[in-house]
Structure 1
């Protein structure tokens, strides 16, 4: 056996140890699971074995299934079902064995790893702050397919099962014990294997609770009478799921169905139900897209796979952050949280202290919610040194400038900072629109000058655009990626250009929404359709966040506006200067923001733009998405983006582009390349050249034929 170790001690206790070769964690795939079940079968059939302990030689128990295996599964639906049925049969063999089986859970037991533990008679979990268990498959477009839905259901009842699975909840040892998902917890100092063996010796006769003929799932009909609210509960759960997902996520619909139908039958039939719904889910294009984007693309990016080759890891000790506004304060916080010392500089000590208070508030909120303690919070906050003196930056090994988007101001702070820092120190600008090459003109070392575009709020938004200027060296790019991964953000590398990728493309979404309002499409329809297609916020609401005045200022400074953009500028000018609708901060934008009340769309829009009553909601949604997709391809075609996957990562993490589509580039294949081209042609005829596909994209679509344009799977 290559991945599973097997030993029997002198008391007849078999230890089946997961230790997957050439992997830092234990993962489940065709090879490892085959070895595991062959080993359990061997132990069960060995008359000298009194009981079995399943454990791990690595820090974690089992991290879950290999999602690349699922993404590249090339068999039929029947092949997939047969594979699951065989898995269920092997796990049922474990449960029906007369020999007690104990899971000794260390570290993480997620997804399939927890499902294996659930098939054991007893579960002991190491109680450490970093340890977690959970069925987390919904976070990657799947749901548990190795019995997790049905065993959770029988341990927790339907309410918690639905909550924990659909939200991919990860539980601490104490939470898991309270919910009976584990039976025993122990401290890191305890010998978990000895405890497992002791339980086996004291409990020679075992039976899973659901194999008792009298067993009934909590909160479900028991054959004698209907449990009050049972049907209504599932109806409400489905309705709430649809309200949240708008039917765009088939894995959520299918897991609810598997739980509902599995609750009214015995465990074996219930496992068949789960398997069939799992197969239907795996073969949907939405699930394939989510696995590819969320797990593979974003996972690889988070590990720094975009880093140029042959450069050693750069380590950082002290970071200087220029500007203590919301962005600078957020950058200071995530840097300190990663263990770095931070010098937070502003024009005044008062401003710098205010910036540090941003971190204090985050920590106090975490303490109030029980997610941190004063003992953990104080060392973090002590790492942030507020200052108004540029001299305090001299020992920093990285500078991140986060002052206002003003070229002259950025020039000034660049020059005064470079006067005190060492020549080897990288200087990064957190700009969302100004070209890095232009900003680097103020630097005496443009090869060390780079863009790091964070997103607000920095402590919550995972993406960072690493922007390469004309003279930025590969060594600087590599070092910048090391910093971004150090603070646990996800980097994508983009080349220079006004708006780079995310700001430029997101502008197309906003512009299209404002244009539709000017055409007379009711604002509530625009906003609701945006959410229905999977965007987290409507284009009008986000415009208020950005501020219409800023948008107008940027357009006034742009010398090369298209005819569409000129018309749009006139519309925004009317909204801002004639009607005084400026921003959320001012209390008056597309929405009204009453103090202490809930925002609502301004009621006077119909008097400014004559409202249409005949509109096509599908077309509205397609216009919003196609505007972003087409411009994203233009970014790829022009070299602003280096790879299609960067567009998908950036659009999902930075723009909130619907994840079920796989991202802006994957969207073309999600729609179907030929259908995408045909619909774009229709939009171009009706609304103008902004929907005209670039020639290079047309050639790609034609070359793909019936296949995919970008990714094989």
Structure 2
């Protein structure tokens, strides 16, 4: 056969080999074209009496990495056509399962999403133990769930509990883990001929019945048979409750996948596949899923690959990085560099303080060791890459410097001056500041063209985002090299032009400010915090204020010469809370919350006496005030040139602020609400609460021009 994407051959033993090799792509992806070729080829093998067995293999380094999400994002057919497509897919896979010929999946690398589903429909699965080989149903990570039988086959192989856990958490399993769970039947080394192993199984042991096609089959771990529900209803009820608690109903794919698993459990697999398909269609056509795919798969992936890098510059690599400041932030930066294979000089005022920074890294690695994710040898090798130092002389061989001391301009300037005396003129100097303008800090540098901001987020080893902040004199070559560096350590860069608070700190400040303002207006603090979580924020504004510390917040506000009238009032409020009531934050054990030793934190009970509660409040308005405050200020960042593109705002807000991903991010939120509805509600908030909710004229024009369409993105 002369297929473009799927190769076909039959050996002398009558074994048909169906090989995925998608043209013009580094990986095998599933879409209308590749799936049509695949099923055509499999049918050819099924209908050929000379074929005794079938092997599904890959000519690429991975097996099949899953569905083409850009295809799903731009899917322009009806719900009915989508359902028919899924049912046709199920028909083909069921025909493969019931054809009477043994079918083997030769999984040589990643088998994710739809790739995993194809493997599950085979009668036998062999998987290479190559270190980067994983198998799993990971669709929930992009707002979808398995739509080619994954929920039903996982359920019948693993039972309900593991199925729910693995699918909702998008768990990827190594070959060893998959063998233990029974998802694969055999593993081999990367050096083994996996296709030959598959042939041997077909010839010597090959069977062609799936367990769920046996009339006596029941779902593992339950008393379930076809038509029975006793014994699992309670478990599914708890799972649904937990799902709602964690998502607050904002993520339809979680609700729908739980429903597909629950209702499919009591049916024959054919009916279960139909149930799954109906819930999948409902999910795919939701605006939340479209937003999640666009933000997480396209925008974030593009940023992670350095798509924002200025054109025309060769890739720059970094062999040794100097990190100045060994506190939690500096230690975290050193940690991710060492994990990326880069040598690090971790400098502080004393070797003992620098060693404390290494100690933090060792503690994090020990936790991984306890859970079986690393070894003592790997920990030692990692720590060997980090030199604890108190000497500027140790920085002379570094090809990048990152200053990560606390937010004090005078201290930062002193370090810049001293460090530049010992480093080469070509070395880039970066400040990990979250609030002080880079152009202001660059005044202390003798080469401001090499000066840039790299704003990491805490904890560095877990947070993906890095704001790359461009000062007035930062050269384009320095920016290009900085993007190369951020992507090399596995982080996601967004480019931010200079300004106080940059993007994330500035916009997140609006969230915090609005929460504190509502407290002073008499909105109960528990309502503020709970509504924040209900709308999809990971933490409430009062709790995060305690984490930051109210004294630090006041100090930052006091340094800003351009406070709005609302912010001036808020500063007075902070002074009163700190000086009159002695509430400063978590560090001191008393902020908006009380923090008893060895006890769970709780909101301070005296707030109701200081700010008497309102007789009534609008819960929807509370949530919208928190989000609208961020969205409007984020647009102002875009409008003023602090950000270059709307997608940078979406990526930064999701990864840096925890903005609800189902909305697509701060800019996509306008279209999520509906552009006209957003404008009307903003006007309502402006009339009630003031100028901060007034949307800029340029946004009003965008909304008018969009009409019934989207303001920022076509899909």
**Structure 1 length-normalised TM:** 0.99
2:358 aligned partner: 356
Tell me how far apart the structure 2 counterparts of residues 166 and 539 of structure 1 sit (CA, whole Å).
Answer: 27
Q: In structure 2, the residue corresponding to 1:151 is in which secondary structure?
A: helix
Which deviations, in whole Å up to 9, do the C-alpha atoms of 1:639-695 show, x marking residues without a partner? Answer: 000000000000000000000000000000000000000000000000000000000
Q: In structure 1, the residue corresponding to 2:587 is in which secondary structure?
A: coil
1:151 aligned partner: 153
Deviation at 1:205, TM superposition (A): 4.1
Deviation at 1:204, TM superposition (A): 4.5
Cα pair 1:345 1:387 within 8 Å, conserved: yes
Q: In structure 2, the residue corresponding to 1:125 is in which secondary structure?
A: strand
CA RMSD of aligned residues (A): 1.1
2:470 aligned partner: 468
2:497 aligned partner: 495
Which deviations, in whole Å up to 9, do the C-alpha atoms of 1:609-634 show, x marking residues without a partner? Answer: 11113011100000000000000000
Q: Do residues 624 (structure 1) and 626 (structure 2) align?
A: yes
Q: Do residues 397 (structure 1) and 399 (structure 2) align?
A: yes
Cα pair 1:100 1:203 within 8 Å, conserved: no
Q: In structure 1, the residue corresponding to 2:72 is in which secondary structure?
A: helix
Cα pair 2:403 2:431 within 8 Å, conserved: yes
Which deviations, in whole Å up to 9, do the C-alpha atoms of 1:534-576 show, x marking residues without a partner? Answer: 0000000000011100111111222221111111011111001
Find 2:254's aligned residue among 252, 255, 277: 252
Deviation at 1:220, TM superposition (A): 4.8
Deviation at 1:129, TM superposition (A): 2.9
1:172 aligned partner: 174
- Consecutive unaligned residues of structure 2, counting only runs of 5 or more, are none
Find 1:601's aligned residue among 583, 600, 603: 603
Deviation at 1:389, TM superposition (A): 0.5
1:346 aligned partner: 348
1:133-532 alignment, distance < 5 Å = 133-220=135-222, 222=224, 229-532=231-534
Deviation at 1:200, TM superposition (A): 0.5
1:19 aligned partner: 21
2:129 aligned partner: 127
Deviation at 1:521, TM superposition (A): 0.7
Tell me how far apart the structure 1 counterparts of residues 258 and 367 of structure 2 sit (CA, whole Å).
Answer: 33
Find 2:694's aligned residue among 692, 700, 707: 692
Which deviations, in whole Å up to 9, do the C-alpha atoms of 1:248-300 show, x marking residues without a partner? Answer: 00001111111111111111111111111100000000000000001110011
Residues 31, 226 of structure 1: CA spacing in aligned structure 2 closer, same or farther, 3 A cutoff? Answer: closer
1:33-44 alignment, distance < 5 Å = 33-44=35-46
Deviation at 1:441, TM superposition (A): 0.7
Cα pair 2:123 2:207 within 8 Å, conserved: no
Tell me how far apart the structure 2 counterparts of residues 706 and 227 of structure 1 sit (CA, whole Å).
Answer: 46
Cα pair 1:241 1:252 within 8 Å, conserved: yes
Tell me how far apart the structure 2 counterparts of residues 459 and 168 of structure 1 sit (CA, whole Å).
Answer: 20
Deviation at 1:387, TM superposition (A): 0.5
Tell me how far apart the structure 2 counterparts of residues 551 and 652 of structure 1 sit (CA, whole Å).
Answer: 22
Indicate the larger mover: 2-11 or 447-456: 2-11
Tell me how far apart the structure 1 counterparts of residues 226 and 466 of structure 2 sit (CA, whole Å).
Answer: 58
Which deviations, in whole Å up to 9, do the C-alpha atoms of 1:329-368 show, x marking residues without a partner? Answer: 1000000110000001111111111111111111111111
Residues 212, 249 of structure 1: CA spacing in aligned structure 2 closer, same or farther, 3 A cutoff? Answer: same
**Structure 2 length-normalised TM:** 0.98
Tell me how far apart the structure 2 counterparts of residues 238 and 9 of structure 1 sit (CA, whole Å).
Answer: 50
Tell me how far apart the structure 2 counterparts of residues 539 and 711 of structure 1 sit (CA, whole Å).
Answer: 29
Cα pair 1:701 1:709 within 8 Å, conserved: yes
Deviation at 1:10, TM superposition (A): 1.1
1:39-50 alignment, distance < 5 Å = 39-50=41-52
2:566 aligned partner: 564
Find 1:574's aligned residue among 576, 580, 588: 576
Which deviations, in whole Å up to 9, do the C-alpha atoms of 1:511-538 show, x marking residues without a partner? Answer: 0000000111111110000000000000
- Consecutive unaligned residues of structure 1, counting only runs of 5 or more, are none
1:2 aligned partner: 4
Indicate the larger mover: 444-453 or 187-196: 187-196
1:668-707 alignment, distance < 5 Å = 668-707=670-709
1:651 aligned partner: 653
